[in-house]
Amino acid sequence: MDGKMSGTVADAVNYKGFPADRLKTGGWVPAALILGIEIVERLSTMGIAVNLVTYLGDTMHLPSSNSANVVTDFLGTSFLLCLLGGFLADTFLGRFRTIVIFSFIQTLGTGTLALSTKLPGLRPPPCHSNEDCKEANGLQMGILYLALYLIALGTGGLKSSVSGFGTDQFDENDEAEKTQMAYFFNRFFFFISLGTLTAVTVLVYIQDEIGRSIAYGICTISMFIAILVILSGTKRYRYKKSAGSPIVNIFQVLVVAVKKRKMDLPYDYGMLHETSSDSSRIRHTDQFRCLDKAAIVAEGDFVKYGSGSAPNPWKLCTVTRVEEVKMMIRLLPVWATTILFWTAYAQMITFSVQQASTMERSVGGFKIPAGSLTVFFVLAILLTCAVYDTLIIPFWKKWKGTPGFTDLQRMALGLILSTFGMGAAALVEMKRLSVGKSVGEVPSGSTLPISVFLLIPQFFLVGSGEAFIYTGQLDFFITRSPKSMKTMSTGLFLTTLALGFFMSSFLVSVVKKVTGSHGGEGWLADDIDHGRLDLFYALLAILGVINFVVYLIVAAWNKKDDKATEMVEVV
């Protein structure tokens, strides 16, 4: 009797390990509890990241380029550690325990950060003049790094499993629940954007006007409460059994294919090794045929166990296992060409915030915190999502018969918008520098007579781009990966964010070294008023154009591959 008729979900269990009852487990209530902890995670991580560059410059007295790199390295590490979290979830802990354990680690990190910003001995004395400014010493930076990288570790483990555990609460084999799962993706992104909105408005204001230690203390308490909330739903969740580490499975296919590289493939692919059930079997495809050799049956491939025998996975793999690896390989070209978007994104929470700190930010009697300018970034995301859901999807369904843009089209739009955003940023920076040149040196703590609202176009363009590329990437990496590797594919998607931030740090270091090699401060001076940040933005815009051309080639290849796969399935 199948899961639907029996009232149980075929591939899920309850907290006791018994088949999950459809009526007592899963659905929107448990999914909402899971969404809650992701909202708080985004509140903490983004609340720290968007305003950290001003703390590093104003309080820890680091140069602007060093401050930017500390922020991007922190965020890059957070997303790179998603791979570690995904590996632990798939191999040892399961998604639920991974979320809880790494949430505690993040709570410890934010608590340490609150202490490091509270205790006077953990930051250098205030500057009274440029000559009297002392950078933070090794101990002070060491405590700060300890706090940041505990948060990064917690974020990585938490993020790797939250979206997957959320989708575990819906049964793909039930049409009603499958529809609910599609809405879950949209609401997942919408609500984490609300968490970011709260971070860049309320939390940044508290940091600047009341105290950073209080703001980070709020993050610590919020995360602790979120852990209690997610634990309260233990009996309501559906848990998926781990199929083992996908990384090990991938290495097995690659190792066996290399070992059997000199063997000839059979004329009939039906002779290749396959033991998977019909429901989980993946049909053979002609791409990457060299990997098919991992499924060739040879002498010595089986190990005897009592009266029977079983294949040694390091000597023989099934066709389905080989096809899973092929599916992951097909993701890589798109993965590589979406990294640059996140490099452009990194500028919105580093150099753009530094730009804002030098510009006129007063509205009436209220002075907008520099970090809060990213509110326009988040508003652009929310507005784009709302317009897309209410206008574009219905229009596209009537015109094209499909529910909105494809995943590849959404990613293309994200790349285009980010490139325009860098172009707009270059033009605004040219204007800001010209104003600064005309008025000369301004007193410490004063701002240039130019409105901070000129930065809105770059925030809005890149923010709209994120709305498209994030949902497009999430859709692409989850729907085009094997079921057994969805956690890993989510981690792979999040590494594009990590590498984008690391690429930003790399470009900053290279540009600073190359342009400042003749005695000058170069494009990225310690004080951005003495540099040429506009040329750095222009460089990113040019790289964006080149990257987009490569992406179009990759997308065309993926479309062709999709058609070939459909033909195989029909046959």
Q: What is the pLDDT of residue 3?
A: 41
Query: Of the candidates 196, 207, 466, which has an alpha carbon nearest to the alpha carbon of residue 338?
Result: 466
Cα–chain-centroid distance for residue 105? Answer: 19
Task: Answer with the residue of higher pLDDT: 454 or 23.
Answer: 454
pLDDT tens per residue, range 121-137: 888 888 776 566 788 88
Same domain, 290 and 363: no
Task: Give the length of the chain.
Answer: 571
555 and 408 Cβ atoms separated by less than 8 Å = yes
User: Measured in whole angstroms, how far is the alpha carbon of residue 539 from the centre of its chain?
Assistant: 24
| pLDDT score at 91 | 78
Same domain, 77 and 189: yes
* Residue 415 near residue 336 (C-beta atoms within 8 A): no
Which stretch of 60-74, 108-122, 150-164, 550-564 has the lowest confidence by average pLDDT?
550-564
Q: Residues 103, 157: one domain? A: yes
**Is 545 found in the same domain as 424?**
yes
The Cα–Cα gap between 403 and 410 comes to 12
Same-domain check for residues 196 and 284: no
- Same structural domain for residues 294 and 337? no
Last residue of a domain, one of 325, 352, 383: 325
Residue 272: helix, strand or coil by DSSP?
Answer: coil
Regarding whether 252 and 231 lie in a shared domain, the answer is no
**Are 485 and 386 contained in the same domain?**
yes
Of 269, 293, 325, the one marking the end of a domain is 325
| Cα torsion angle, 260, 262, 266, 267, sign | positive
Does one domain contain both 351 and 390?
yes
Q: Compute the distance between CA of residue 261 and CA of residue 217 in angstroms, rounded to an integer.
A: 58
Query: Please, are residues 54 and 353 in contact by the beta-carbon 8 Å criterion?
Result: yes
Of residues 311 and 306, more confidently modeled: 311
CB 20 within 8 A of CB 14: yes
Instruction: Of 36-45, 94-103, 523-532, give the range with the top mean pLDDT.
Output: 94-103
Q: What is the pLDDT of residue 156?
A: 87
| The two three-digit tokens of residue 405, written as one number | 């843009």
Provide the mean pLDDT of the chain.
84
| 264 & 367 share domain | no
Among candidates 136, 6, 75, which has minimal Cα distance to 495? 75
Q: Which of 294, 309, 325 is the last residue of a domain?
A: 325
Q: Which of 245, 227, 256 is nearest to 108 (CA)?
A: 227
Q: What total number of domains does the chain contain?
A: 2
Q: Which of 354, 340, 342 is nearest to 68 (CA)?
A: 354
Pairing of strands 359-360, 448-451: parallel
Give the pLDDT confidence score for residue 205 in this predicted structure.
86
Helix (H) or strand (E) holding 386: helix 375-387
Integer-rounded Cα Rg, in Å, for the chain is 26
Claim to verify: residue 173 and residue 314 sit in the same structural domain: no
**Which of 233-237, 448-452, 484-488 shows the lowest per-residue confidence on average (mean pLDDT)?**
484-488
Integer Cα distance of 2 and 241 in angstroms:
18
CA distance 204 to 427: 27
* Bigger pLDDT: 11 vs 73: 73
With 0-12 CB in 10 A as exposed, 13-18 as middle and 19+ as buried, what is 138? exposed
Q: Which residues pair with 13 in a beta bridge?
A: 19, 239
**250 is in which domain, residue-wise?**
246-325
pTM exceeds cut of 0.95:
no
Question: Taking residues 365-389, what's their average pLDDT?
Answer: 82
> Does 301 score more than 50 pLDDT?
yes
* CATH label of the domain that carries residue 177: 1.20.1250.20
In a shared domain, residues 345 and 490: yes
